[in-house]
């Protein structure tokens, strides 16, 4: 994968103009730039399109076509970029527990561990509106605070748990044992999340993009726009309104959206 990543095109996509060396400052800057410019979206899953994790497919979608993606796409692309720069990267799966208990959640999330002289750090660009935009120290109590969220790593026996505090609420985001994963494990997880009829990505519309002064998030028909300290909520009237919102806030247009089917929105099926 490393030799197949076009760093110049990726850097142009995220607006990166600084030197790229395997240091903490570079890592922090790349995560912030990546999450600021490449949105989270599962439109292709709902359009019944295959989700490709190969370098050519990822770069065509997320870089050339200026699309977004979900965790497997974000993490796989960023892992390849970091390795091409010279970082020590390990890929891992996790169980998302925002919507279901650990016992029912599949290994349907992908994250990275990056090893530096300063220590080990969690890098998780594909966790949608809950993504930490800085390297998160992999130590019990490791903490990163921003204006809108606080991310903390918690050790529970053999488990590592990501805790997220947002808008006065504290919740578990995902849990992992950081077991060694094989390349095929991510393909299996990606296949499940993008094709299984009961997978979250197959049933819900999930979108998140950062803007100059905040963020735009979509959960099915519910739209949340944050500008500074203000929050505006609305409901999408129809799929044409969804297409307009994406064109205005996500940086691309996709005519097929006007016929997209979302199982959790009965009149959009």
- Per-residue pLDDT tens over the stretch 77-107: 999 999 999 999 999 999 999 989 999 999 9
List, in order of start, the domains of the chain with CATH numbers: 2-195 (3.30.2140.20), 204-268 (no CATH)
- Provide, rounded to the nearest whole percent, the portion of the chain with pLDDT above 90: 91
By residue count, the chain amounts to: 269
Q: Does 109 participate in catalysis according to the annotation?
A: yes
pLDDT-derived band of residue 2, with 50, 70 and 90 as boundaries?
very low
Burial class (CB in 10 A: 0-12, 13-18, 19+), 151: buried
> From the candidates 34, 71, 92, 204, which is the catalytic residue?
71
> What are the two backbone dihedrals, phi and then psi, of residue 49, each rounded to the nearest 5 degrees?
-100, 145
**pLDDT > 60? residue 3:** no
30 token code pair: 């790349």
> What is the mean pLDDT of the segment spanning 157-161?
97
pLDDT tens string 226-253? 987 789 999 999 999 999 999 999 999 9
3-state secondary structure the chain: CHHHCCHHHHHHHHCCCCCCCCCHHHHHHHHHHHHHHCCEECHHHHCCCCCCCCHHHHHHHHHHCCCCECHHHHHHHHHHHHHHHCCEEEEEEEEECCCCCHHHCCCCEEEEEEEECCEEEEECCCCHHHCCCCCEECCCCCEEECCCEEEEEEEECCEEEEEEEECCEEEEEEEECCCCCCHHHHHHHHHHHHHCCCCHHHHCCEEEEEECCEEEEEECCEEEEEECCEEEEEECCCHHHHHHHHHHHCCCCCHHHHHCCCCCCHHHC
> From the candidates 34, 74, 92, 109, which is the catalytic residue?
109
**pLDDT > 80? residue 1:** no
**pLDDT > 70? residue 161:** yes
Sorted by sequence, the CB contacts under 8 Å of residue 255 that are 6+ apart come out as: 243
> From the candidates 34, 44, 74, 124, which is the catalytic residue?
124
Q: Does 132 participate in catalysis according to the annotation?
A: no
Q: What is the pLDDT of residue 227?
A: 87
* pTM: predicted TM-score of the whole model, two decimal places: 0.96
* Dist CA 142 CA 153 (whole Å): 5
3-state secondary structure 81-104: HHHHHCCEEEEEEEEECCCCCHHH
Q: Does 179 participate in catalysis according to the annotation?
A: no
* Dist CA 96 CA 127 (whole Å): 9
**pLDDT > 90? residue 6:** yes
* Dist CA 8 CA 219 (whole Å): 34
CA distances from 37 to 47, 67, 74, 77, 202 (A): 23, 10, 12, 14, 24
């Amino acid at each position: 994968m490393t030799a197949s990543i076009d760093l110049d095109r990726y850097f142009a996509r995220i607006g990166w103009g600084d030197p790229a060396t395997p240091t903490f400052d570079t890592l922090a800057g790349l995560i912030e730039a990546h999450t600021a410019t490449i949105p989270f979206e599962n439109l292709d899953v709902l359009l019944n399109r295959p989700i490709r994790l190969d370098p050519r497919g990822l770069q065509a979608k997320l870089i050339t076509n200026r699309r977004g993606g979900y965790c497997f796409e974000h993490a796989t692309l960023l892992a390849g970029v970091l390795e091409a720069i010279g970082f020590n990267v390990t890929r891992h799966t996790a169980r998302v527990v925002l919507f279901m208990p650990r016992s029912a959640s599949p290994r349907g999330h992908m994250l990275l561990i990056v090893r530096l002289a300063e220590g080990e750090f969690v890098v998780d660009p594909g966790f949608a509106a809950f993504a930490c935009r800085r390297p998160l120290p992999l130590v019990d109590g490791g903490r990163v605070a921003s204006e809108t969220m606080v991310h903390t790593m918690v050790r529970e026996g053999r488990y590592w748990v990501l805790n997220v505090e947002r808008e006065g609420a504290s919740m578990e985001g995902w849990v992992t044992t950081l077991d060694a994963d094989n390349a095929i494990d991510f393909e299996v997880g990606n296949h499940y999340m993008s094709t299984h009829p009961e997978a979250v990505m197959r049933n819900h519309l999930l979108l998140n993009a950062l803007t100059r002064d905040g963020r735009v998030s979509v959960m099915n028909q519910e739209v949340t726009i944050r500008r500074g300290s203000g929050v505006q909520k609305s409901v999408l009237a129809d799929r044409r309104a969804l297409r307009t919102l994406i064109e205005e806030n996500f940086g691309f247009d996709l005519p097929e959206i006007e016929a997209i089917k979302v199982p959790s929105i009965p009149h959009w099926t």
